[in-house]
Copies of this chain bind each other. A is one copy, B any other.
Amino acid sequence: MSSEAEPVPGSPAWWGNRAPAPVYRRGRPPVDVGRIVGTALKLIDEVGIQALTLRMLADALDSGTATLYRHFNSKDELLALVADRVLGEVRVSREELHDLSWREAVTVAAEAFYGTLCRHPQALPLLAAQVPVGPNGLRGRERLITLFLSHGFPIDLAARAFTAVGHYVIGFAIQQHGPGTPHPEEHSQLRNYYNSLDPELYPATTAAAYELTSVPLHEEFRFGLDLLLDGLEKARGQLPAGD
């Protein structure tokens, strides 16, 4: 919490030398980057990212749109800050992972990441749009790569394993909770749709209609993750030397 970690140069995180402390908004709470980003995320959670408007955000902050532009240079830059804020909610303590095998630890980390993404389904497109280079994104990448390295993975395998797992988690989450899936009743609707198809034309889809739509989300996530980890285990086992 507190001060958004450290200011990192480069992409959207050069906001160390942004607008100084607000001065006179007597009675009203101050407008700073932290409050803007937090309010933006809250609004995105409520109304969706498509519906988020700078005017709406300014109203929620009891301010005006012009004032917002003193703290970022464009709406896209704000959204990058929101994305990093979401990544900051992934909390995995170092102790929690310490006694686990690499496979258990990666599972815990991936589940924590997935859980956070599921708590902000409306913000998911932000995380898929770019490589996260904000402070919280850096922190997560550092820790997961460290995890692989500390369990004897060579550096190239560790890097690719990180990429594969990260892409799997985001890719899975965005397709389960993407912008086109507002209501949880979607699953039964989709199943009805599959079942309404002509079995002559779509025998496999209609036969698998139940399985395609009824499996609990979390279980399907774990299934694919375990497939990845099985493969990683095999790749690691084929190395000349293990630990």
Contact = CB atoms under 8 A, between A and B. Distances in A.
A112 interface: no
Contacts of A163: 212, 220, 224
14 contacts: A9-B196, A128-B171, A129-B178, A130-B178, A130-B179, A130-B180, A133-B193, A155-B208, A156-B211, A160-B211, A168-B171, A227-B235, A230-B230, A230-B235
- Which 9 residue pairs are nearest across A and B when measured between Cβ atoms? A171-B171, A227-B231, A130-B180, A159-B211, A164-B224, A230-B231, A145-B204, A146-B204, A159-B208
Contacts of A226: 231
Interface residues of A, number: 63
A125 interface: yes
B179 A224 contact: no
A172 interface: yes
Contact of A171 (B10, B174, B181): B174
Interface in A91-145: 125, 128-131, 133, 138, 141-143, 145
A78 interface: no
A129 B160 contact: no
A155 B197 CA distance: 18
A228 B234 contact: no
A167 B160 contact: no
A178 B145 contact: no
Contact of A11 (B193, B202, B212, B235): B193
Contacts of A164: 220, 223-224, 227
Copies of this chain, complex-wide, total: 2
Interface in A198-243: 201-205, 207-208, 211-212, 215, 220, 223-224, 226-232, 234-235
A17 B167 CA distance: 40
A138 B11 CA distance: 39
Given A129-B178, A133-B190, A230-B234, A167 B172 contact: yes
A188 interface: no
A65 interface: no
A170 interface: yes
